Structure 1
Amino acid sequence: MRVLLIKPGAIGDLLQLSPVVRAIKRSRPQARITILVGNSASVDLFRYNPAVDEVLVYEKKGVHRSWSAFGKLWRELRKRRFDLVVNYQRSNLKGWLLAAASFPCRVLVYHKEKRRVMHAVENHLKAVAPLVGDPGTLDQRLELYLGGEDKRWAEELLARESLNGKMLVALNLGASHPVNRWPTRRFAELSDKLQAAGFGVVLVGGGSDRELADAVLADCADRPLDLVGRTTLLQLGALLERSSAVVSADTGPMHMATAVGTPVVALFGAADPARTGPVGEGHLVLQAAGISCVPCRSRSCSSEKKLACMEAISADEVLAALKTI
């Protein structure tokens, strides 16, 4: 059985697909699974996953804006003669054109649950329920497999920075949507408090988080290790795996941490943890109390007091949460 999963999404969205991959492989051990992702960097999320046979790239805002490049990808998919296509990008016309490359075949389609709040992982599994069974009975843990080279990189880095043997806390500064971000001064305050208590601290994030990192460092009395924008995706995963805990808002590295088994203190305001919170045991979600609009589930803040929900989470609250995990 040849299976194509169409999911050109962000890091967290793709990792939320890992339980789907696992469930299909357990249900159909002979299945050959191909995943269609949205950029070349995302390939690494499945590079070492033993249940994934192939990862293809569909850059809808990049090279595949050209109809000639799109047609070449379509023909590549056609040659593979998939028996099942699961379309997690049903609102995208070109996504359907790519799905059509496999016709005639069986097609399953993802629909976001509207009748009740359902975690995204369970919602992803629901799309393949005819194949794998009741999502509520399945293992919903996220998985990120790392390569030996990336693990060695993390080990050597921590030794070089004299962080081996210390409780290491990774602070992920950014979030795709600004409404989900914790203030930089709070991160700086937390970093100082952690280091004063004997913890090692490392700042992590992507290249687009560089401005946030500079703001945090400007407010720090004791400079933490700064790796923002200085790691590959799998190096970041290896570093998160070696960390004792991760502090993050609702964004990709938060899901990466859970996928490598590291406890997370997740900071939520506008986003709803019942939908996108950390999956698995040992994680804590902090959400501001007494703010009526939480969670608004919006990507912009319309409150008179902008981002009060994230401002209200104090560094002391996060520090206390870290000490419990």
Structure 2
Amino acid sequence: MGFKKKVNSIRRKLMHAITKRIGSSYADPKIYAGKKIEINNILIIRPNHRLGNQLLLTPLVQEVINTFPNCKIDLFVKGGVAPIVFQNYPQVNKIIQLPKKPFNELFKYAKEWIFIKRTRYDMVINGDKDSSSGRLLTQLANAPFKLFGDANENVQKQYPDHEHISKSPIYNLRHYLTKLGFPKNESQIPVLDIKLSASEIANGKKILDTIIKNNKKTISIYTNATGDKCYPEDWWETFYARLLKEYPEYNIIEMLPIENISKISFKAPTFYSKDVREMGTIINNTAVFIAADNGVMHLASASLTPTVGFFSVTNLNMYMPYGNASVAIDTNSTNIEDWIASINTILK
């Protein structure tokens, strides 16, 4: 681990130790029976700039909209692509973006915190219980109802999938609302969704047609990932060869990362885009998307495409793709025959 990463790791641990008790007094709201609760202006906090984490926030935003259809939502994030991710969410009123490097823009950083303090909200939701700044901001915010993200023991026992980073804040919100007198919500948890429009999807089809130039269905793969999540070239070469053998009736194309690298030496037709929504529209027009755990895997899931996610180092239960017939595979305890069987459940 490099010096910078060590410093950041120590900083995160220290801040977590300092802030972990913040919000403990807000666990169970006390509301008089029969009192009508008006919740219209809501702040959701998720100060993380990574693509995957901002996509993983979309189910919570949908849950809030489903629960309070006339609400206005402010999102407090850190840099990143949130304006692009949520551009088709009319209920998202304002996206407050912290700079990615706050010490380089202290004035802007302080200005946004002051805005949160001065704005009157009905409810504030911290989207990540392990975020120290998220907990501090939730404490600072001006609102009668606050969810710091801490898991309720009864909720954890009732829902085995509570550990998922997208589902946990939704289960917590539902539990909290029953304390306020709202009826218990047992509906299906929303999936990741960037709400691609019909015209966007049609444009993605046009782009895909210029790549494949035939009427066969298409399998898309993404061979890159960050750090230890990235599988080596020989792993992808073996897997790609097996895909060619198993699915001759399908096209196989590779999405390239910004670094313009390929773990299969560019053997498949490729596509590349810096536009997150355009990437999603192309993926939406494919039969299945296959990748290791990374932000683009979550983009495929948020494009409502069946997604196969490979996991080797990160917590599968926290980050697995779900919905749309998606599957998550622990490659430490499975083999290539298992992976093909999982893909067959989607394609065949």
Cα deviation digits, residues 167-212 of structure 1 (max 9, x gap) = 2111122334x3333333332333344445142122225325x44x
Q: TM (normalized to structure 1)?
A: 0.76
Q: TM (normalized to structure 2)?
A: 0.72
Q: C-alpha distance in 2, partners of 1:207/1:113?
A: 40
SS in 1 for 2:212: coil
From 241, 244, 257, give the equivalent of 1:206.
257
Are 2:240 and 2:264, in contact at CA under 8 Å, matched by a contact in 1?
A: no
Q: Does 1:284 align with 2:305?
A: no
Q: Partner residue of 2:216?
A: 166
SS in 2 for 1:121: coil
Cα deviation digits, residues 126-175 of structure 1 (max 9, x gap) = 33222376576443322221256643442222221234522211112233
Are 1:84 and 1:107, in contact at CA under 8 Å, matched by a contact in 2?
A: yes
Q: Does 1:43 align with 2:94?
A: no
The structure having more radius of gyration, on CA atoms, is: 2
SS in 2 for 1:107: strand
Q: Partner residue of 1:28?
A: 68
**1:104-119 alignment runs, 5 A limit:** 104-111=143-150, 118-119=163-164
Q: C-alpha distance in 2, partners of 1:119/1:97?
A: 23
Are 1:203 and 1:225, in contact at CA under 8 Å, matched by a contact in 2?
A: yes
From 128, 135, 138, give the equivalent of 2:173.
128
Q: Does 1:8 align with 2:34?
A: no
Q: Does 1:175 align with 2:175?
A: no
Percent same amino acid among aligned pairs?
Answer: 18
**1:1-325 alignment runs, 5 A limit:** 1-9=40-48, 10-59=50-99, 61-62=100-101, 65-78=104-117, 80-89=119-128, 92=131, 94-96=133-135, 98-99=137-138, 102-111=141-150, 118-129=163-174, 130-131=176-177, 137-147=187-197, 150-176=200-226, 178-195=227-244, 197-208=248-259, 210-211=260-261, 213=262, 215-217=263-265, 223-228=267-272, 230-288=273-331, 309=332, 313-314=335-336, 317-325=338-346
Q: By how many angstroms is 1:67 displaced?
A: 2.1
Are 1:17 and 1:124, in contact at CA under 8 Å, matched by a contact in 2?
A: no
SS in 2 for 1:33: strand
- Name the aligned partner's letter for residue 45 of structure 1: V
Q: By how many angstroms is 1:226 displaced?
A: 2.2
Q: C-alpha distance in 2, partners of 1:138/1:320?
A: 26
Q: C-alpha distance in 2, partners of 1:227/1:152?
A: 17
Cα deviation digits, residues 65-122 of structure 1 (max 9, x gap) = 4221112223444564222211235555544554466325422111367977622232
Residue range with higher mean Cα deviation, 246-255 or 100-109: 100-109
SS in 1 for 2:43: strand
Residue range with higher mean Cα deviation, 1-10 or 41-50: 41-50
Q: How many residues align?
A: 293
Q: C-alpha distance in 1, partners of 2:132/2:191?
A: 31
Q: Partner residue of 1:300?
A: none
Structure 2: which 5+ residue stretches go unaligned? Answer: 1-39
Q: Would the alpha carbon gap of residues 200 and 66 (structure 1) be closer, same or farther in structure 2, given more than 3 Å must change?
A: same
CA RMSD of aligned residues (A): 3.1
Structure 1: which 5+ residue stretches go unaligned? Answer: 289-308
